[in-house]
Amino acid sequence: MGTHTCMGYPGTTLDKIDIDAQTFASWGVDYLKFDGCSSNSVEQIIGYPLMSKALNATGRPMAYSCSWPVYVGGLPPNVNYTFLGDICHLWRNYYDIQDSWDSVLGIVEWFSNNQDDLQPAAGPGRWNDPDMLIIGNFGLSVDQARSQMALWAIMAAPLIMSNDLRNLDNSARTILQNKMAIAINQDPMGIQGRRLLQSHIEVYWRPLSQSASALVFLSRRTDMPYLYHSSLGKLSYDAGNYEAYDVFTGATVTGLNATTEFTFSINPSGVVMWYVYPKKASKQTKMLRKTSKLTWQKTVPRNRIVL
């Protein structure tokens, strides 16, 4: 929005919004991110709703990403997330990600510290966007790449790759194509997860459909693997029998109830990610894992960005 883009190319002034929206539609554009480096607060108040109206008027379905929140601090009362959800499909709340683990941690920390304001704003068709995945670039180790994938899935974040597909190594490809991580991210309930515990091992939780949930155990240590001990009851799970599927190893943990003590090792800056489900739903869950690829291919055109 404004006279120039953030990289200095010609932008969209308020009087050109309609014609630019029509032009994007004629080009077959599927996704528009409307930034605001060259705009002021008055232009943003007018321009973001105006572009929403103009995109709808084209008749072409386009995902509409708004950067409005980040320019006004990202939080209520400066940001009206109820109104924003009516005009945008997703929005950037915070600063740009950089190709580093420190940047990933800074974003996760900001979203977690402000989760009481941000988590209720998200839902189907209206998403908080912590910025791109940097998996497959240069700044993350394999453990850190798994951590970003897991945390973005917990946050119900848009999964937008930023890497060069021509130079993608097998470890990054495996993480980015992890079917269960993607299925958790795309859970139809669309509820954003939360940080439950903050310590040298942080715990994140997200409720999912079919009475399931996802847990991410993130190590903030930088020295050595840590042997973590806990139980589902300590994480506020109700009494009952559960099983857990380890998203990155493919192992199934059986015999869990609220009081069962479990122990596993977490690498420095790494994660353990569990898909937790009631024992009675185990057959249904196994079927979900087997059909996730088929469902994904049937419901999502391959050339579309998925939100």
Question: Domain spans of the chain?
Answer: 16-192, 195-278
Predicted confidence (pLDDT) per residue in 93-108, tens digit? 999 999 999 999 999 9
> What 3-state DSSP class applies to 155?
coil
| Cβ contacts of 118-125, under 8 Å, gap ≥ 24 | 118/75, 118/81, 118/93, 118/192, 119/192, 119/193, 119/194, 120/81, 121/81, 121/82, 121/84, 121/85, 122/156, 122/190, 122/191, 122/192, 123/85, 123/190, 123/191, 124/188, 124/190, 125/85, 125/89, 125/190
pTM of the shown model: 0.91
What is the per-residue pLDDT for 273?
Answer: 98
What is the per-residue pLDDT for 281?
Answer: 53
Considering the domain delimited by 16-192, tell me its CATH architecture: Alpha-Beta Barrel (3.20)
Q: Does the pLDDT value for residue 115 go beyond 80?
A: yes
Predicted confidence (pLDDT) per residue in 244-300, tens digit? 999 999 999 999 999 999 999 999 999 999 999 999 754 555 555 554 544 443 333
Q: At what angle do helices 41-57 and 17-26 cross, to 10 degrees?
A: 40
What is the per-residue pLDDT for 280?
Answer: 79
State percent of the chain over pLDDT 90: 91
> What 3-state DSSP class applies to 207?
strand
SS3 content of the chain, % helix, strand, coil (to 5): 35, 25, 40
Considering the domain delimited by 195-278, tell me its CATH architecture: Sandwich (2.60)
What is the per-residue pLDDT for 39?
Answer: 96
Which residues have a Cβ under 8 Å from the Cβ of 94 and sit 6 or more positions away?
70, 74, 107, 110, 111, 130, 131
What is the per-residue pLDDT for 292?
Answer: 55
Q: What tokens were used for 198? A: 């903050």
Predicted confidence (pLDDT) per residue in 4-33, tens digit? 999 999 999 999 999 999 999 999 999 999
Predicted confidence (pLDDT) per residue in 161-204, tens digit? 999 999 999 999 999 999 999 999 999 999 999 999 999 999 99
Cα 102 versus chain centre, distance = 18
Report the catalytic residues.
35, 96
What is the per-residue pLDDT for 304?
Answer: 33
What is the per-residue pLDDT for 287?
Answer: 53
DSSP per position, 289-300 = HHHHHHHHHHHS
Which residues have a Cβ under 8 Å from the Cβ of 136 and sit 6 or more positions away?
145, 161, 162, 163, 164, 168, 169, 172, 173, 176
What type of residue is 226? Y
Predicted confidence (pLDDT) per residue in 64-81, tens digit? 999 999 999 999 999 999
Distance of alpha carbon 171 from alpha carbon 182, whole angstroms: 16
Mean pLDDT of 40-48: 97
Which letter does DSSP use for residue 161 in this model?
Answer: B
Q: Does the pLDDT value for residue 232 go beyond 80?
A: yes
